[in-house]
Structure 1
Amino acid sequence: MNRKQLADIILNRLLEEKETLSNFFEHSKTQIGYFFIDDVLPEDLVYQLNEVFPLSEEMVLKKSLREDKFIGVQMNNYNPLLEEVLYAFQDERIVKVIGEIIKVSGLFPDENLYAGGISLMQQNQFLNPHLDNSHDKDRERWRVLNLLYYISPNWKLENGGNLELWPNGLANSPITIESKFNRLAVMATHNASLHSVSPVKENVLRKCISNYYFSNEPLRKEDTFHVTSFRGRPENKFTDVLLQVDTFLRMGIRKIFKKGIKENPHVYKKSKK
């Protein structure tokens, strides 16, 4: 199936649940707006996605105090089905209906996959609480939505590796969204959308396909530019201090160098035809 055929299926599924999803997002948007929808694509196709997902040695390891995960963004290095599914979520009809669900117009998908693409987490890997970078790679548009599509079969909440939203800060318990097989989670990104992925507890593989949508305007009028800003988990106080210093230093650099000192390598470099 090509990306248009896949988008047809995704679109029909979103339209089936459109009113429910819109009400859910509306209820949550005063803090961190989000919704999720299950059974997005036919199960046999998602099992196939799982089978063709690259091994960790075919991906790039990102390991630091901030995060520990494998990522892939150069999609032409992998099975074509992965790229077709990823870009199906960028179909203009999908972008439009998701905009209608959250009541925001003028959304743009990101063909460059800046910080998007695919990711893999193994046992003990994690993504600490953070705010996503507020802008696209050229610092021209605001990042407003994060789309996460999960494809690991038989996923259980107790595996860890689940999406966490911290609308009331790190002093309070997060909202946990299970990384359930064939689930699409959509969350708002703004100056208060602190989120994380809990450490994977079991010997399982968490596989995810990620997209971001951007806009010419931020979701909240009070939003300001920021780099990806990490915090430590509540039980890791020392790590939290170090990561706040790290963010302060990186913000200082970006005040001098608008696009950073070097190009962010986490973009899809397509061959020129």
Structure 2
Amino acid sequence: MNRTEYANIILHRISDKKEEIKKQYNSSKNEIGYFWIDDLLPEDLALEISQVFPKKEDMVLKKSLKEDKYIAVQMNQYHSDLEEIIYAFQDERIVYLIAEICEIKQPIPDTSLYAGGLSMMGNSQFLQPHLDNSHDAKRELWRVLNLLYYVTPNWKEEYGGNLEIWPNGLKNDQITIFSKFNRLAVMATHNNSLHSVSPVVYDGFRKCVSNYYFSKEPLRKTDTFHVTSFRGRPEQKVLDQFLQVDNALRMGVRKIFKKGIVENSHIYKK
């Protein structure tokens, strides 16, 4: 399968569900807009993507107090189907259809896969509540949508590794979006798009294909520049204070060095 063939199938599926997912997004857009669509691809194709996912030894481990996960972004090192499915979501027809559903102006797919690509989480791995970096690597475009396509067959919600969004902050309950096999979840990214991934509590790996869309305009007029900003979970009071200090320090650095001090390695260098 090449990216155009994948895109044709995805486009048809989203088009069929357009009105349904538009209602879902509209009902949530005043807080953190989101929608999901199940059975995105024929099951056999989704299984093939899962089967060619790289092993953890062939991915990059990102482990800290903020996150614990495996990532892969240098796509020419992996099975060609993985690059094709990632870039299928960047097909112009799909980009503009999703942008229309979410009322995004001037959508721009992220060809460099800045913070996108592949991710995988195993037992005890997690992603703390956080706001994504507001911009692209060059700090020229605004990040506006996060697309997550889950490809682990037989994954159960109780295994963890689910997307959590916190529309009313950490003092209120989160909304859990199950990382169900063959499900595409789309989430708006702006200054209030606090989200996390629940810790995995199962001896297996939750696999995800991720993309971001950018725009020349922020999603909300009130949006401002920010680095990726992590928080502790509601019960992690001390960690939360530490992470807020860390966020402030990194923001201070970016006020002086607009593009940061160290080059971000999470970019596909073709």
Please classify the TM superposition score into its range, dividing by the shorter chain length: over 0.9
What residue number does 2:6 align with? 6
Tell me the alpha carbon deviations over residues 190-234 of structure 1, each in whole angstroms, 9 at most, x when there is no partner: 000000000001112100000000000001000000000000111
How far off its partner does 1:83 sit?
A: 0.5
Q: Matches of residues 21-32 of structure 1 in structure 2 within 5 Å? A: 21-32=21-32
CA distance in structure 2 between the partners assigned to 1:70 and 1:238 by the alignment: 26
How far off its partner does 1:24 sit?
A: 0.9
What residue number does 2:54 align with? 54
What residue number does 1:96 align with? 96
TM-score, structure 1 as length reference: 0.98
CA distance in structure 1 between the partners assigned to 2:10 and 2:37 by the alignment: 10
Query: SS in structure 2 opposite 1:192?
Result: coil
Tell me the alpha carbon deviations over residues 31-54 of structure 1, each in whole angstroms, 9 at most, x when there is no partner: 000000000011111111111100
How far off its partner does 1:155 sit?
A: 1.1
Name the aligned partner's letter for residue 76 of structure 2.
Answer: N
Q: Do the aligned residues in 1 keep the contact of 2:105 with 2:217 (CA within 8 Å)?
A: no
CA distance in structure 1 between the partners assigned to 2:50 and 2:62 by the alignment: 21
Tell me the alpha carbon deviations over residues 217-265 of structure 1, each in whole angstroms, 9 at most, x when there is no partner: 0010000000000001111111111110110000000000000001100
Name the aligned partner's letter for residue 125 of structure 1.
Answer: Q
CA RMSD of aligned residues (A): 0.5
CA distance in structure 2 between the partners assigned to 1:261 and 1:103 by the alignment: 35
What residue number does 1:252 align with? 252
CA distance in structure 1 between the partners assigned to 2:105 and 2:44 by the alignment: 34
CA distance in structure 2 between the partners assigned to 1:80 and 1:238 by the alignment: 44
CA distance in structure 1 between the partners assigned to 2:94 and 2:182 by the alignment: 17
Q: Do the aligned residues in 1 keep the contact of 2:162 with 2:197 (CA within 8 Å)?
A: yes
Q: Do the aligned residues in 1 keep the contact of 2:71 with 2:118 (CA within 8 Å)?
A: yes
Q: Do the aligned residues in 1 keep the contact of 2:144 with 2:213 (CA within 8 Å)?
A: yes
Tell me the alpha carbon deviations over residues 97-155 of structure 1, each in whole angstroms, 9 at most, x when there is no partner: 00111122310001000000000100000000000000000000000000000000011
Number of aligned positions between the proteins: 270
How far off its partner does 1:81 sit?
A: 0.3
Query: SS in structure 1 opposite 2:128?
Result: strand
Q: Matches of residues 175-186 of structure 1 in structure 2 within 5 Å? A: 175-186=175-186
TM-score, structure 2 as length reference: 0.99
Q: Do the aligned residues in 1 keep the contact of 2:70 with 2:119 (CA within 8 Å)?
A: yes
Name the aligned partner's letter for residue 92 of structure 1.
Answer: E
CA distance in structure 1 between the partners assigned to 2:144 and 2:28 by the alignment: 15
Q: Do the aligned residues in 2 keep the contact of 1:25 with 1:35 (CA within 8 Å)?
A: yes
Query: SS in structure 2 opposite 1:268?
Result: coil
Name the aligned partner's letter for residue 45 of structure 1.
Answer: L
Q: Do the aligned residues in 2 keep the contact of 1:191 with 1:224 (CA within 8 Å)?
A: yes
Query: SS in structure 2 opposite 1:248?
Result: helix
Name the aligned partner's letter for residue 57 of structure 1.
Answer: E
* Most deviating of 16-25 and 134-143: 16-25
CA distance in structure 2 between the partners assigned to 1:117 and 1:229 by the alignment: 20
Residue 149 (structure 1) aligned with residue 163 (structure 2): no
Q: Do the aligned residues in 2 keep the contact of 1:96 with 1:105 (CA within 8 Å)?
A: no
What residue number does 1:120 align with? 120
Structure 2: unaligned runs, 5 residues or longer: none
What residue number does 1:43 align with? 43
CA distance in structure 1 between the partners assigned to 2:131 and 2:94 by the alignment: 25
Residue 203 (structure 1) aligned with residue 203 (structure 2): yes
How far off its partner does 1:23 sit?
A: 1.1
